[in-house]
Structure 1
């Protein structure tokens, strides 16, 4: 299921978002709910939630059977946390 979702993001969602210098990536899929992290310019956009609700959700739910909702993942990425730990520990 996750591979189908990733393919739809790659083929249909990201080309649309690339027009705004951004993209999207799947962070998890649980109980029919797709969690998406916005990337690039879309990751900092104040309209990211509206983009998820207005466009991304429609594209994914129409193309992947079994998806009931699409939500914006606003958690801090593990890569960013690792970098912060290294900075705090003076490893970089």
Structure 2
């Protein structure tokens, strides 16, 4: 059975988001292509040192259990553009 974004969202809502909300975080689906789900952690979970463990032990475990057709769940990590700008200003002694 082919997983749909709506079905995955339902599993995230039921089994993943409540745990992330306890840490003031969330997970957003970035894409689903060729049986690979890409997700992004948001809120306080974004950039957390435990983000990879959260992805493997919680998100991937729940998604792969519900949808064996999903081959992998990849965590997309991005640096907040505001933090990058702040770092440049500090390095250039503008702050």
Structure 1 length as normaliser, TM-score? 0.75
1:9–1:25 contact (8 Å) kept in structure 2: no
Which runs of structure 1 show a deviation greater than 3 angstroms over 4 or more consecutive aligned residues?
none
Q: Provide the secondary structure at the position in 2 that maps to 1:42.
A: coil
**Number of the residue aligned with 1:89:** none
Structure 1 unaligned residues grouped into runs of 5+? 85-92
Higher share of residues assigned helix: 1
Q: Provide the secondary structure at the position in 1 that maps to 2:45.
A: helix
**Number of the residue aligned with 2:5:** 2
* Residue-by-residue CA offset, 1:6-50 (whole Å, 9 max, x unaligned): 111122110111111111011100111111100110012111111
Match among 4, 29, 33 for residue 36 of structure 2:
33
Structure 2 length as normaliser, TM-score? 0.73
Please, what is the CA RMSD of the aligned residues?
A: 2.1
2:35 counterpart of 1:46: no
Max Rg structure: 2
Larger RCO (CA under 8 A, 6+ residues apart): 2
